[in-house]
Structure 1
Amino acid sequence: MTSARDPHRPATPAGTSTPASPAWNGDRIRALGTVTDVPTAAQIFRLSRSTAYDLVSTGDFPVPVLRFGHRYRIAVAAILDALHLPHDPPPTRDLTSSPAHASIVHTQSTDPGIEHTPPERQEHRHE
């Protein structure tokens, strides 16, 4: 099903103004680069395109808007600040490379009542 305005664009469900898209998160916003356009920023703030441009024209958009001739751009850093998200992605911890990496080590029990059998010779015992 396509929209009447643009036959190549999927139609939107009844009662919505934009097609469904994946949720915006910090990683996806940071992936936009340094600046983005008004329609993209509007999606992030869950605004319709027309509302976003109305807010831009009145100076009430949630973040500062840069104007270059007839084009508007919005700094991604400003969007991240408005949403209280860090500019840099949180560090990922590679648990396998740290000295505290857990590994299975076979040790001999110090309990004299437990007989130790090396792992390669262990037999399954059913009691």
Structure 2
Amino acid sequence: MPPYANTAQKGMDVSEVLALPVVTTLEDSNRAFGIGRTTGYSLARRGQYPVPLLRLGNAYRVRRADILRALGIDEPSPA
């Protein structure tokens, strides 16, 4: 079982995850996965975050497509 699976952080529902920008912050990604801030940053520093991270200076960014894929959410096709 991954180290982030047993946390009590409130996650996002599917509509909130789909509403994320194309590239989002680590804090928003943590909420999508239901993990806390400290755990999320710890996983990021150790290279064990559930999806690939983008490092921009001192900030981490996460692609929405990676979050959706990891959570098994299909992105709706444009109408």
User: Could you say which TM-score interval applies, normalised by the shorter chain?
Assistant: 0.7 to 0.9
Q: Given the alignment, which residue of 71, 74, 77 partners 1:83?
A: 71
Measure how far apart 1:25 and its partner are.
2.5
Aligned-CA RMSD value: 2.2
The residue aligned with 2:53 is 65
- Structure 1 gap segments, 5+ residues each: 1-16, 92-127
Report the equivalent of 1:36.
24
Letter paired with 1:26: V
Report the secondary structure of 1:33's partner residue: coil
Task: Kindly tell me the number of residue pairs found equivalent between the two proteins.
Answer: 72
Greater gyration radius: 1
Q: Which has the higher contact order (CA 8 A, sep 6+)?
A: 2
- Taking only the aligned residue pairs, the percentage that are identical comes to 32
Partners of 2:76 and 2:65 lie apart in 1 by 10
**Structure 1 moving runs of 4+ over 2 Å:** none
Q: Deviations over 1:62-99 (max 9, x none)?
A: 0000001111100011000001101226x8xxxxxxxx
Higher share of residues assigned strand:
2
Shift of 1:33: 1.4
1:83-122 aligned at under 5 Å gives the runs: 83-88=71-76
Q: Does the 8 A contact of 1:26 with 1:80 survive in 2?
A: no
Output the amino acid matched with 2:37. R
Query: What residue is the counterpart of 1:105 in the other structure?
Result: none
Whether the aligned pair in 2 keeps the contact of 1:38 and 1:74 (CA below 8 Å) is yes
TM-score, normalised via structure 2 length = 0.78
Residue equivalent to 2:62: 74
Q: Hey, what's the Cα distance between the residues in 2 that align with 1:46 and 1:86?
A: 19
Which residue type is aligned with residue 44 of structure 2? V
Which consecutive residues of structure 2, in runs of 5 or more, have no partner in the other structure?
1-7
